[in-house]
Chains A and B, each alone.
Chain A
């Protein structure tokens, strides 16, 4: 079924919309949730919640891409679950990603020029659009989807060490870009 057909089911309040979304994108959504939560049970919960969120938000929302919209919903839900759990025990995947992203934080040039995440998102989006497609996808797969380095190395046909270096260069590039553009956190 095409995305348009599934969106039409949402719009006509046909509950098959959820089943069809799960059938088409369930594997992707579970992967995203598992990458964040590292737990199948929690991932299932995040996917179910995300599908419910889609049902509640479409309409009035009219996503251009159902895949990106559903992926965003499950990522938000997974992170929300993760934050709750981190009160008890910090989830290792999130810790790992934040550790890596530490390297992208621009030097604090002005203590009062803090950025909102949305503003920073726009700056990162602009920077990503300057990269070649392979690097852009690689960055998004690692830091948005949270895919493991080993998995990405396998997909790209690189050695993990080489891929880790490539990611390091990308993070350094992002940091330089943010500093050059005058951003600080």
Chain B
């Protein structure tokens, strides 16, 4: 057996408890990065900014509420009308899931289960314990586009891309690179890495340094969406304050989700901002609704 065969056999002989551990393990999905990659993919293609924005802000992210927002909600809660003792409150820990709830600008979705319960309830004063997903679609789109323009429209980057587009079709992958491609790395990514090396070695130090600087900024943007999350937190705090101001007693639970007890009339007349997307569905105790 050669060295690599020995290595493979050696890996096959690792302790059984490690094999067992791996079989039953569920990875913690890298949510931020997954969203960032989804957004970056949309941005790089120059399409789907709305989708990226919805992805970034549509699904609730635990803890993405600002202290300011929470404070506003808590303070306002004290002056908002609270349910009277006679008022019936309906809870329903139904199996509704928020995952996959990608909201688009202008959406105001009331979940089927909630809609059905509202239709069946004859007491018009009855309160429904709900959670509200809200996505600042228009604002996040604008932010992403602005960032996109700033980074990808830089003259140095545009020069690099023009030259890359001419060079890429002529490039033949090496054997090692072909293996990488077979493992799922895209040809464009592989070729771009190669071209960057060539480009930096051929251009002036100043241009090479500028490209490196831009790359670092782009990586940071893709990885961390620098600034976007903070910006959206401010938007959400403002929107929360607006809704509370309109008489919607919304609280923020420990997961940063918006929860409320609303009548069917309030739900049906929800004062949506046209630049946002919303989904109203049952809140469940498991998500911290009290």
Binding site for B on A (CB under 8 A): 28, 63-65, 67-69, 71-72, 75-76, 79, 94, 96-99, 101-102, 104-105, 115, 117-118, 120-121, 123-125, 128-129, 133-134, 136-138, 140-141, 143-145, 148-150, 153, 155-162, 164, 185
Q: Please give the residue numbers on chain B whose beta carbons come within 8 Å of chain A beta carbons, in ascending order.
A: 3-31, 33-34, 37, 179-180, 182-186, 189
A114 CB to nearest B CB, Å: 8
How many Å lie between the Cα of A153 and that of B29 in the bound state? Answer: 10
Please name all residues of chain B whose beta carbon is closer than 8 Å to the beta carbon of A156 when the two chains form the complex.
27, 29-30
Known: A72-B19, A137-B22, A140-B19. A128 touches B14 (CB 8 A): yes
What are the residues of chain B within 8 A of A96 when measuring CB–CB? Answer: 179, 182-183
Q: Give the docked Cα–Cα distance between A115 and B3 (Å).
A: 10
Residues of chain A with a CB closer than 8 A to B8's CB: 94, 97-98, 101, 143
* A101 close to B11 (CB less than 8 A): yes
Give A99 to B180 CA distance when docked, in angstroms.
11
CB<8 Å pairs between A and B, sample of 28: A28-B23, A64-B17, A65-B16, A69-B16, A97-B8, A99-B179, A101-B11, A104-B7, A117-B13, A120-B7, A121-B9, A123-B10, A125-B14, A128-B18, A129-B18, A136-B18, A136-B22, A140-B22, A144-B11, A148-B183, A148-B184, A150-B183, A157-B29, A158-B37, A161-B184, A161-B185, A185-B3, A185-B6
Question: What residues on A are CB-neighbors of B23 within 8 Å?
Answer: 28, 67-68, 71, 145
* Nearest CB of chain B from residue A116's CB, rounded to whole Å: 8
Whether B7 contacts A101 by the Cβ 8 Å rule is: yes
- CB-nearest residue of chain A to B34: A157
- Given A144-B14, A144-B19, output 18 extra A-B contacts at Cβ < 8 Å: A63-B16, A64-B17, A68-B19, A98-B4, A104-B7, A115-B6, A121-B12, A128-B18, A145-B22, A149-B183, A153-B184, A155-B26, A157-B30, A157-B34, A160-B184, A160-B185, A161-B184, A164-B185
How many A-B residue pairs have C-beta atoms within 8 angstroms? Tell me.
142
Whether the pair B12, A75 counts as a contact (CB closer than 8 A) is yes
> How far, in angstroms, from A121 to B24 measured CA to CA in the complex?
21
Bound-state Cα–Cα, A96 to B8, Å = 11
**Complex: chain A residue closest to B22, CB-CB:** A140
Indicate which residue in B21, B31, B34 contacts A136 across the interface (CB closer than 8 Å): B21
A121–B14 contact, CB under 8 A? yes
Contact B18 A150 (CB under 8 A): no
Report how far A121 CA is from B11 CA in the complex, Å.
Answer: 6
The 10 tightest CB contacts between A and B, nearest first, are A121-B13, A120-B10, A157-B34, A160-B184, A68-B20, A157-B29, A140-B22, A68-B16, A98-B4, A157-B30
